[in-house]
Amino acid sequence: MSIEIRAARPDEMDDYQRLASYVFGNPDSIAASDDPQLVQPEWTTCAFVDGRLATTMGVFPFHMRLNGATVSAAGVTAVGTYPEFRRRGLLRRVIMQGFAEQREREQSLAILWASYGAIYQRFGYGLASTWVQYSFDPRDVALREPYEGAGSVSLVRGEEALTTIKRVYIEHVRPRNLMLHRADVMWQRGIMRIDDKKRRHIAIYRDEGGEVRGYMVYGLKEEHRDGVSGPDQVMDVRDFVALDLDAYRALWGYIRSHDLVLRVTIDPAEDDPAPALLLEPRALHRKLGDANWMRVVDVERALPQRPYGERGSLTIAVRDELCEWNDGTFQLESDGETTEVTRTDREPELTMPVSALARLLAGHASATELQRAGLIETSDDAVRRLADRMFATEYRPYSPDGY
């Protein structure tokens, strides 16, 4: 049996698509050449057994916000193996080669949506953000304080509308944490994608001076209920962006103005303000789960890339059994905006596995929370509290885009 680990060739991308479709239970009727959202051949790492494609992994070359700074990240996708090739270590070999390739491309972080989190924890990924969903009847979610602003929300169409909301999105994500810089294909094949059951609509909010300060992208469809009359539509809000509280309240009122909608679904950020603004927050039927998982591919490159919440110095020992270049002790010196990281022989003040470092770096969990879970070791409470302040983020980590 011969095993080859390499990128797929262009003529092998339909096989790549079929394997991914099989693993994730998706229809395989669309050829790779017909789907421009598919990763490029040179962004794949695959295992071939006796010439047959057995395991796949793709990577999107993302730019991502990390506490308000731009970082390069590998958006990992389509990771899977045909059943007859499992339990042979193929996935491990593919992922290990992928880490080396990502490091060479200076992608210091890897992020993904996990179909099964246990798989990725074995490879040093840590949970980096929380999935939140609201599912509510719009009649039940009145604001605690009625809003009568001077701005207005209107339904808009066309390419000009898309250009407008792109500008608002760019301003919105600038200070945020884990949100992606969206390429045109992400708008066209993701946010604005239309299927047979629903079409996308765009509503924008203009303030009193006519400036666009918020928008929402959503779909509407009927959801027939046998023997039941009355509202039967579902509103699926795909993108909800507000640059200020007036825009947020006005867009919320716009949602509530849809009299034929019975149910609204939104997947907001963990720190979304709706629970604090509503008369009855329980009406949101808020659900939580895991969202993005993140892996620190290159500790020395990743740590200096984000701003920190406070000036300080920390000596951090990172344990990484898979990436030997990460395994060691690092001195982090930061004035908040500028940070230097160097290897050191000093006694560590904090010791953690690379998966815990991902959670800390993303701002998903504090050093105190990770210590309580047994994921960080430190004997100095002052150091732990300093780490809490330094790794704090302005916004909770949130990345709504699927890939």
More confident residue, 376 or 193: 376
pLDDT value of residue 32: 47
When pLDDT is averaged across residues 289-301 and rounded to a whole number, the result is 98
In a domain, 399, yes or no: no
In a domain, 73, yes or no: yes
Q: What CATH code is carried by the domain that includes residue 100?
A: 3.40.630.30
Tell me how far CA of residue 9 lies from CA of 81, 132, 340, in angstroms: 18, 38, 40
When mean pLDDT is compared across 18-32, 63-77, 103-117, 171-185, the lowest value belongs to: 18-32
Exposure class string for 305-340: b at 16+ Cβ within 10 A, else e = bbbbbeebebbbbbbbeebeebebbbbbebeeeebe
When mean pLDDT is compared across 146-150, 282-286, 356-360, 398-402, the lowest value belongs to: 146-150
Does the pLDDT at position 193 exceed 90?
no
Does the pLDDT at position 388 exceed 50?
yes
249 lies in the same domain as 351: no
When mean pLDDT is compared across 91-95, 224-228, 397-401, the lowest value belongs to: 224-228
In a domain, 400, yes or no: no
Does the pLDDT at position 31 exceed 70?
no
Task: Report how far residue 13's alpha carbon sits from residue 275's, in angstroms, rounded to the nearest whole number.
Answer: 45
54 lies in the same domain as 17: yes
Domain boundary, last residue among 235, 260, 289: 289
Amino acid at 199: R
Task: Report how far residue 132's alpha carbon sits from residue 263's, in angstroms, rounded to the nearest whole number.
Answer: 16
When mean pLDDT is compared across 11-15, 35-39, 353-357, the lowest value belongs to: 35-39
Does the pLDDT at position 294 exceed 80?
yes
Confidence of residue 190 (pLDDT cuts 50, 70, 90): confident
pLDDT value of residue 369: 98
In a domain, 100, yes or no: yes
Does the pLDDT at position 42 exceed 70?
yes
pLDDT value of residue 228: 65
pLDDT value of residue 1: 82
Measure CA 108 to chain center.
16
When pLDDT is averaged across residues 282-287 and rounded to a whole number, the result is 98
pLDDT value of residue 332: 98
The percent of residues in the chain predicted with pLDDT above 70, rounded, is: 95
In a domain, 397, yes or no: no
When pLDDT is averaged across residues 69-93 and rounded to a whole number, the result is 97
List CB contacts of 251: < 8 A, sequence separation 6 or more. 153, 203, 205, 214, 215, 216, 240, 242
The percent of residues in the chain predicted with pLDDT above 90, rounded, is: 87
In a domain, 49, yes or no: yes
Confidence of residue 157 (pLDDT cuts 50, 70, 90): confident
89 lies in the same domain as 142: no
* Beta strand segments in 67-199, E: 69-81, 109-113, 126-127, 130-136, 152-156
Task: Report how far residue 55's alpha carbon sits from residue 43's, in angstroms, rounded to the nearest whole number.
Answer: 14
pLDDT tens sequence across 214-251: 999 999 998 876 666 678 899 999 999 999 999 999 99
When pLDDT is averaged across residues 145-166 and rounded to a whole number, the result is 90
Domain boundary, last residue among 90, 107, 124: 107
176 lies in the same domain as 52: no
pLDDT value of residue 160: 82
Does the pLDDT at position 127 exceed 80?
yes
Domain boundary, last residue among 251, 270, 289: 289
pLDDT tens sequence across 338-372: 999 999 999 999 999 999 999 999 999 999 999 99
Task: Report how far residue 318's alpha carbon sits from residue 301's, in angstroms, rounded to the nearest whole number.
Answer: 14
> What count of Cα atoms within 13 Å lies in the side-chain half-sphere of residue 158?
2
Scan for tokens 């080669």, then name that residue: 97
Contact 326, 306 (CB under 8 A): no
Tally of domains within the chain: 3
When pLDDT is averaged across residues 82-107 and rounded to a whole number, the result is 97
160 lies in the same domain as 208: yes
pLDDT value of residue 352: 98
- Candidates 341, 383, 392; CA nearest to 364 is 392
The mean of the pLDDT values for the chain is 94
Q: What CATH code is carried by the domain that includes residue 344?
A: 3.30.1050.10
Does the pLDDT at position 213 exceed 60?
yes
SS3 305: helix
pLDDT value of residue 28: 55
Q: Is 272 exposed, middle or buried (0-12, 13-18, 19+ CB in 10 A)?
A: buried
When pLDDT is averaged across residues 179-203 and rounded to a whole number, the result is 82
Domain ranges, residue 309:
298-390
When pLDDT is averaged across residues 177-183 and rounded to a whole number, the result is 97
In a domain, 120, yes or no: no
